[in-house]
Structure 1
Amino acid sequence: MATSRDSPAPVLPGRALGFLTLGASLHHVVTRLKSLPEIYKALELVYDIAKPLQEPVILQLPENGLRLRFDGPDQRLRLIEVLDFSKIPLVYKTHEVVKPSKSPSDPPGFGPGFRHIYNRLFGPTYPGEYTPPVAGETHGTYVLSYPGVAFSFSLLHSAWTEKQDFVSLMSSSAASAALSMAIFQGSSWSDGQSNLFTRQPQYPRSSALMGKNKESVADEVELVKVHEGGHIELIRRSSNPFWIILGETTPQDLITELGPPDAIYRKSDSRILIHGEGEKNVAGTTNGGGNLPTPPTDPSDIDPQFDSALTDESEEDSGAATNNESALPSDCFYNYFSHGFDILVAPSTSGRRSPGSPTRELYATGGTPELVTSKIILHGNVPGSYPFNRHRRCRWMLPFGSNKEAITSETPYGEISPILKERWRGSYASPAEEASFQRGMVLNRGWGETPGSSIEFLGSWEDNPSNKNKTDHNSEIPSSLGNTELYGFPGLLFEVLKNGSVNCLTVY
């Protein structure tokens, strides 16, 4: 991808188009594109409103002739498509992919001719695939593929025959110049298409892990497994798993294993804690006399930046402050936007912990409590949600189901709720306490400008067969999924969107 308007984007088959690398996270790609608004002026996000985590997500760049396809569950770049060659200069090794048009008769947006591709750019290859036209059309589509890259052409159907040499056929006037180009992972287009959205990506989510200083960058987190007793296992791409134990893991542990936080949010305003005034009890106790912690009611439990009007400070440049515990307030969030989660660091005597999690003693002299991890907030980055693109998507798993059936970050809350209700049945002190955990609390997400407000949300994507009969999503689908509801279980707090997707999971 170009970083200036006139510089060409290098084509790297099976890997990348400029800085757009296959396997990159949706968060990383959008953040990079938004940092160059003079080049990438319009971003359109197309997704399935009913199933945004199951169906692919499409990012369209109409001003640049590009379309990027991401899988829904992991939100990683799977396919890069050039749809208009006139809007983006391309180069393969030392050759221009498309030379500037010199004739006004040349069709706008068309790409390189077959001969240029076959003789000068990529060389000989196996015969491609031909798709006949639909009823009433005169031209079919011919796809010429190489490992990691493919071109599509319009071909006059009456000229098509399997008996003719495809090089002669595609070099004739019956074939157009290339209509589009695709970059993918696979030995051919048919191979890449067969498992386009499920193949294990070869490259990481962030380009920082491929640069010269990759050894100094913390390994990316692939999956978070939430175990009982406040034990949280972080599965990483290359390194061994890192365990966070609520009430024990220190800020130094976090920085050593995860790197310095991208920002520090100082949790210093308590005006929104009015609902919790009756819950000021010692950690590990309840206001109902049972053995379960009281469910948190602070909106920052699921979004540290819930209301910027109530915040004192958020430090983006955290490198100089992260190693000095004495400089931190009693409670603060370590924001790991690139990992997809926030971690609350607080004195070891404060907060409410998961049932069975350890309680630390006071180690410092003078009774000063040690700072430890109090809770972790796992963000879903669901398209259309209020905090979209603030964090990259973090996938998680709860091994709480029957027969160890895993609850995952893609499981609709309607399926999660009965499993957890059964899991915790009989653990509450009273029916009233059980109801207090599982009563939905509405969280208003409609006020103010959303973090992803410079992205146009277009609703359901056009290639989903279930959406063919829907109306024009550009005008009738809201740009946000609106308010959310909070549901609590012992040690867990779910933020649920109107479509049933879990947008955020807080483990405390």
Structure 2
Amino acid sequence: MAQRLDLPIVPGKGLGWFKLGMSLWDTIRHLRDQVALIPVVDFKYSEEDPFAADIILKLKSNGIELRFEPYSQRLKLIIVDDFQRVRLTYKGDEVSSSKAVPTGELINKLFGPAFPGEFDSSTTQYTLLYPGLSLVFPIPEHLMLTYQVSADVPIEFPDGGTPFATHMYIYFGESWVKASLPSLPGPTLHGGRMGGNRGEVDRVIAQINHGVVIHFVGGTQSQKCPILFLVTTPQDLIADLGPPGSIYYKEDDKLEIHSDNNKDSYQTQQEDDGIMGKMDDIGYERSSHTPQASQQPNDYFYNYFNLGIDVLFDGSSHRCKKIVLHTNIPGHFDFQW
């Protein structure tokens, strides 16, 4: 069994570092850095239509499931389905651990009186409702009738038995079934004028032969960051977006993507887009190497993985000459690059 994660519960907000609204890209990146604590992650999505159902990350060894809205790829629901595999706390008090189990009595003591719950006779489960938090308790068959006709919270069964929670849901919205995404946070100052690593993108508008305009969430209206051909410099980009995740120097010029001499292979186009790199134990990552001094100035990419944007600069003028936008569709060759 993997070491227990130690996570505080924040109803309607998140569970430890799992924050409602966080991106799938950031989540997977963090999971890759936590292999010792989170050794097994199942990734589930609809192969027929990636936008038809939630994207799911199942942390099998930790008893946690994360569900992401498929279009925005942002976390909308956190599920704990095995309390024995995780240590949970609420305002410093243990909810589940090697010494504590989430009984009805403990939940009532820590979280206070709940709203009237819901009993599902088809699954014989009672769902205890708090704002942004739901807990599920299985009800013995011989007590089904009691909870079908009563709104009593199962703090203790009439026969003296103790109910134990089997599932916990953390969400934003009316209920976990109707979970919605919280508002995106506005940009902060560290990392760049638009927030850099912490800024959240509202939308990106591509303008042919001109460039792109990134709209960041901020207050009542979005803030714009233009990236313009033959105008934007690396200094401009760093000032607006912060430093790139990596810098990739091209070794030769294959940028004429519509010319006859650039149809050799799919790999050639990947090199043009600045996304061919070395394989390590957790997947691909773009390589970063500097050109030799004897060569002519090489073009180079600034790779912003978290934004899905690569910007190519001319090696001589150091002005933007190409922009690559990535959609991060599950199952695609470029997913999570």
Deviation of residue 101 (structure 1)?
A: 5.7
Instruction: Answer whether contact 1:266 1:329 (CA < 8 A) is retained.
Output: no
Cα distance in 2, alignment partners of residues 45 and 168 from structure 1: 35
Cα distance in 1, alignment partners of residues 249 and 12 from structure 2: 43
Instruction: Answer whether contact 1:115 1:171 (CA < 8 A) is retained.
Output: no
Instruction: Answer whether contact 2:4 2:62 (CA < 8 A) is retained.
Output: no
Partner of 2:215: 235
Partner of 1:261: 244
Partner of 2:311: 343
User: 1:351-408 CA distances to partner (integer Å, 9 max, x unpaired)?
Assistant: xxxxxxxxxxxxxxxxxx5221112111121212223222xxxxxxxxxxxxxxxxxx
1:491-502 to 2 correspondences below 5 Å: none
Partner of 1:396: none
User: 1:2-21 CA distances to partner (integer Å, 9 max, x unpaired)?
Assistant: xx935621111111111111
Equivalent of 1:201, from 174, 182, 197?
182
Q: Does 1:299 align with 2:297?
A: no
Instruction: Answer whether contact 2:103 2:155 (CA < 8 A) is retained.
Output: no
Instruction: Answer whether contact 1:155 1:175 (CA < 8 A) is retained.
Output: no
Residues 228, 170 of structure 1: alpha-carbon distance in 2 compared, 3 angstrom cutoff: farther
Deviation of residue 268 (structure 1)?
A: 1.2
1:104-143 to 2 correspondences below 5 Å: 112-118=102-108, 120-133=109-122, 140-143=124-127
Cα distance in 1, alignment partners of residues 277 and 33 from structure 2: 24
Look up the equivalent residue of 1:249 and give its one-letter code: T
Deviation of residue 273 (structure 1)?
A: 7.9
Cα distance in 2, alignment partners of residues 145 and 87 from structure 1: 23
Moved more, 269-278 or 10-19: 269-278
Q: Does 1:184 align with 2:171?
A: yes
1:433-444 to 2 correspondences below 5 Å: none
Residues 226, 383 of structure 1: alpha-carbon distance in 2 compared, 3 angstrom cutoff: same
1:213-362 to 2 correspondences below 5 Å: 217-218=195-196, 219-238=199-218, 240-270=223-253, 276=259, 298-300=268-270, 303-306=273-276, 308=278, 314-315=287-288, 329-346=297-314
Moved more, 6-15 or 58-67: 6-15
Deviation of residue 131 (structure 1)?
A: 1.6
Cα distance in 2, alignment partners of residues 328 and 221 from structure 1: 36
Residues 388, 14 of structure 1: alpha-carbon distance in 2 compared, 3 angstrom cutoff: same
Q: What is the RMSD of the two structures over their aligned residues, measured on CA atoms?
A: 3.4
Deviation of residue 266 (structure 1)?
A: 0.3
Cα distance in 2, alignment partners of residues 75 and 234 from structure 1: 18
Instruction: Give the paired residue count.
Output: 314
Report the structure, 1 or 2, having the larger helix content.
1
SS in 2 for 1:389: coil
Instruction: Answer whether contact 2:278 2:287 (CA < 8 A) is retained.
Output: no
Instruction: Answer whether contact 1:64 1:88 (CA < 8 A) is retained.
Output: yes
Instruction: Answer whether contact 2:252 2:298 (CA < 8 A) is retained.
Output: no
Residues 298, 273 of structure 1: alpha-carbon distance in 2 compared, 3 angstrom cutoff: farther
Instruction: Answer whether contact 1:275 1:297 (CA < 8 A) is retained.
Output: no
Partner of 1:97: 95
Residues 297, 90 of structure 1: alpha-carbon distance in 2 compared, 3 angstrom cutoff: closer
Residues 154, 328 of structure 1: alpha-carbon distance in 2 compared, 3 angstrom cutoff: farther
1:370-381 to 2 correspondences below 5 Å: 370-381=317-328
Deviation of residue 34 (structure 1)?
A: 1.2
Deviation of residue 172 (structure 1)?
A: 3.7
SS in 1 for 2:57: strand
RCO higher in structure (CA 8 A, sep ≥6): 1
Q: Percent identity?
A: 31
Cα distance in 2, alignment partners of residues 163 and 237 from structure 1: 48
Look up the equivalent residue of 1:387 and give its one-letter code: D
Partner of 1:360: none
Partner of 1:353: none
TM-score (norm 2): 0.81
Instruction: Answer whether contact 2:257 2:269 (CA < 8 A) is retained.
Output: no
User: 1:118-150 CA distances to partner (integer Å, 9 max, x unpaired)?
Assistant: 1x21000211112221xxxxx512111111111
Equivalent of 2:28, from 27, 30, 35?
30
Report the structure, 1 or 2, having the larger strand content.
2
SS in 1 for 2:223: coil
Partner of 2:283: none
Bigger radius of gyration among the two: 1
Partner of 1:146: 130
Deviation of residue 230 (structure 1)?
A: 2.4
